[in-house]
Structure 1
Amino acid sequence: MIAIELNSTEDDFSTNITVNLITNRTGLFVTAVLEAFLTIILNLLLLGLCAIIPAQARNQLHIFYTFLAASDLINGIYLLLLSASFYFVNTSIFQYYNVCFSVVVMSSAGISTTGYLLLLLTAMKCFSIVCPLKSLRFITRNAAICLTSLVWSFSYVVNVVPSIAWAREKAFLLNEECSVKMVYHDKVKQFVNLGYVLSGLFVAGVVLFNSFILVKITKRNKVGVQENSKSNTDIGMRQYGKSTKDTSGKTKIQDIKSEKPHLKKNISLKDGNKYDFKKSKNFKAYLTVLMHVGIYTLCGFPLILIVANRDLYKYYYNDRSVRFGCILFLYLTSLINPILTVLRIPIFKKSLWKLCRKYVTKARS
């Protein structure tokens, strides 16, 4: 996805043959601005909810989601800049090389950061499911902050440093639209190859971590049935042993007390007592992360489809509006992430309801 987004602005032609007039771009521009503002507002709301959560109630997962919301907020700002460069083609500011360079490189780094933060979330859920005790010991709040900061830094460094090495020397470029080709010119292929490497790492990491999780869940469900049945039998034997040790008149009273839980255990066994990890909070949190990753992948699907089809591939590079539309769809993940986070994470949902009730109460009074 990261690679395809970088590849989306590559042009195999010596000149820019985009023929769309500015009037034809109005619809896409309005849509992009609306998407960008909604992304900024929703992520600001999520960051506000993160701030009002009591310190003692914040855990490592909330720290990860705070950094993700910050990344999505910045993506909304980048989308505004990309929209301006798309619509205001003849504006001289976007023909200054340094300005165009900053917009293109930072926007690529921003979408990469979101992807790798989601990969980090997947890795942390994998660690907590596969090694739950060790995860409580090693993944502390400070560790969560350090890990997210490292991922953030890595995403920007791996995009910015090579870009500086591949940059052009011209300061002002006439009659060229602000795009990857304007920024890199004859070094576009190197930048695209870097994108493919980053995308490959993302996909490989997601597949690997989810494979570990699925294997662990399968094993845990199988072992859970055996352990539960064994523990229920042991409890019944211990209760029976306690009632047979006393030979005094208290034996009958102990038999009556031990009979009720013993009957409850037998009833649960008849109903089919199983360890169902799917009903645990840990699985629900993992499912939320999986939804985030799935949405990120789905938003990049139009780019994947176009690159895979040769006919669409040529049409795609000849029309700037098509390229920008695909980028719009990719940035949609930063709009959906805060909505999904609030709906799926209980503490964010409760904080939002409390905030709404507070303002409703003030409005009524």
Structure 2
Amino acid sequence: MSTIQFNSTVNTLANITLNVAENRTGVFVIAIIEAVIIILLNVLLLGLCIKVPIQNRNQLHIIYTFLAASDLINGIYLLPISATFFCVQTNIFRYYYVCLSIMTMNSVGTLTTGYLLLLLTAIKCFSIVYPLKSLRYITRRAAICLSAATYIFSYVIIIISSIVLGSGTVTFMLEEECDIKMAYRDNHKQFLTLAYALSGGFVAGVLVLNSIILIKIAKRTRIGVQENSNSTDITSVGFRRSNKPSEENRTFPINEVPNTTDLTGRNSLKNSSGKPSATKACWQKEARKYDFRKSKNFKAYLTVLMHVGIYLLNGFPFFIISVNKNLKVTFYDNDRNVRFGCNLLLFLTSLTNPILTILRVPGFNKTLRQILSKIFKPKQ
């Protein structure tokens, strides 16, 4: 009697999951297309990273290379994650440790991408605020070490959390599909608390760093170049105009006065009142002005800001649902489609990152144009 009852339960659940899977076909196709595009774009970007001449590779290029590798891994991770969403009847995804491993990939991929973007923002902040020190401390080796440390931090904190918060007694779950709620079960809320803490740290870091950058840019734009205007940073070169006259203009023979009158008979260096002429005063005023917003450094900062802005925008729906308890209970907790949709939006960052990098970073788009010109070079 118990055997018959168990079999009937299995059939009922199978029919329910089959109907759910049919309703998920469209979202599953979108997820697979997104994963394939992510993989192709980041393979292209990594190829461009290799093609960029060594002498043209700076610190930002190195971090962008690590970011492209992270996005490529995210595209690969998205394939089994999408399979758990659609193939709900596949028994392998109901083995607990298989499901826990896939959910760990899900969490660690987006976390690594986010904190690499935070690292990019921090380096741009340091190079804008302290241009000379950035040349000394932010070397290529430092960029490699910082990027590797970001990878290690992300993977270690998620893997350790999965080991600690994961259930060690469940090996096969027949009545549930592979999801973050199944992976952490009773400790699901604790894992979400960790996710909120990591997300809060990311948002706080982005806000603080960008506030410092904007204050520095506003100060430079208002008062012009000061003591750091003759320095260089990772992506741009500053300039300096000397107000001191050259040696040739400073030395004159005794009893010889240089001819400094113009066609009107007025002295070109001083007017009748003995004050500097309007032309010289205007030149000095222009020399003190420096529009930082037109520099290459500011354009590089805008690129980083676009990356971070898109990442925050993609995570905004999850933030809204998490803040509103009614939405969280009604939709997020009880609907796998909503949870997977929020996750899919976060992975969308790995698709936009290579596009922005190729279009906005000079070293990559120049290399791509050179490759395309060789491929499509007209035959003579």
Take 1:23 and 1:41, find their aligned partners in 2: how far apart are those partners? 28
- AA matched with 1:326: C
User: Are 2:62 and 1:47 equivalent residues in the alignment?
Assistant: no
Partner of 2:289: 274
* Greater Cα offset, 101-110 or 315-324: 315-324
User: Are 2:360 and 1:344 equivalent residues in the alignment?
Assistant: yes
Is the radius of gyration larger for structure 1 or structure 2?
2
Conserved? CA contact 1:278–1:284, under 8 Å: yes
Structure-2 change in CA distance of 1:41 and 1:306 (3 Å): same
Conserved? CA contact 1:40–1:76, under 8 Å: yes
Conserved? CA contact 2:115–2:202, under 8 Å: yes
- The residue correspondences of 1:186-205 to structure 2 (distance < 5 A) are 186-205=186-205
- AA matched with 1:350: K
Structure-2 change in CA distance of 1:298 and 1:20 (3 Å): farther
- Name the count of aligned residue pairs: 343
2:172 partner SS: coil
Structure-2 change in CA distance of 1:297 and 1:197 (3 Å): same
User: Offset of 1:222 from its aligned partner?
Assistant: 2.9
User: Offset of 1:234 from its aligned partner?
Assistant: 3.9
Conserved? CA contact 1:20–1:320, under 8 Å: no
> Higher relative contact order by CA 8 Å / sep ≥ 6: 1 or 2?
1
Partner of 1:293: 308
Partner of 1:10: none
Take 1:131 and 1:284, find their aligned partners in 2: how far apart are those partners? 17
- AA matched with 2:81: L
Partner of 1:27: 26
Structure-2 change in CA distance of 1:242 and 1:140 (3 Å): same
Take 1:319 and 1:234, find their aligned partners in 2: how far apart are those partners? 69
Partner of 2:182: 182
Structure-2 change in CA distance of 1:311 and 1:153 (3 Å): same
- AA matched with 2:194: L
User: Offset of 1:214 from its aligned partner?
Assistant: 1.6
Partner of 2:171: 171
User: Offset of 1:208 from its aligned partner?
Assistant: 1.2
Conserved? CA contact 1:112–1:155, under 8 Å: yes
Conserved? CA contact 2:104–2:159, under 8 Å: yes
Equivalent of residue 303 in structure 1, options 318, 332, 335 = 318
Take 1:208 and 1:37, find their aligned partners in 2: how far apart are those partners? 35
- AA matched with 2:134: S
Q: TM-score, normalised by structure 1?
A: 0.85
- 1:172-196, CA deviations, whole angstroms, 9 ceiling, x for partnerless residues? 2212111112111111111111111
User: Offset of 1:317 from its aligned partner?
Assistant: 2.2
Partner of 2:96: 97
- 1:193-222, CA deviations, whole angstroms, 9 ceiling, x for partnerless residues? 111111111111111111211222222223
Take 2:291 and 2:68, find their aligned partners in 1: how far apart are those partners? 32
Take 1:25 and 1:173, find their aligned partners in 2: how far apart are those partners? 21
Structure-2 change in CA distance of 1:265 and 1:61 (3 Å): farther
Structure-2 change in CA distance of 1:346 and 1:212 (3 Å): same
1:361 partner SS: coil
User: Are 2:249 and 1:242 equivalent residues in the alignment?
Assistant: yes
Partner of 1:218: 218
Structure-2 change in CA distance of 1:232 and 1:65 (3 Å): closer
User: Are 2:84 and 1:81 equivalent residues in the alignment?
Assistant: no
| Paired-residue identity, % | 56
- 1:207-256, CA deviations, whole angstroms, 9 ceiling, x for partnerless residues? 1111211222222223317899xx98944xx3699367335779349999
Take 2:242 and 2:32, find their aligned partners in 1: how far apart are those partners? 64
Partner of 1:120: 119
Q: Which has the higher helix share?
A: 1
Conserved? CA contact 2:224–2:289, under 8 Å: yes
Conserved? CA contact 1:29–1:83, under 8 Å: yes
- Gap runs ≥5 in structure 2: 1-12, 230-239, 270-276
- Gap runs ≥5 in structure 1: 1-14
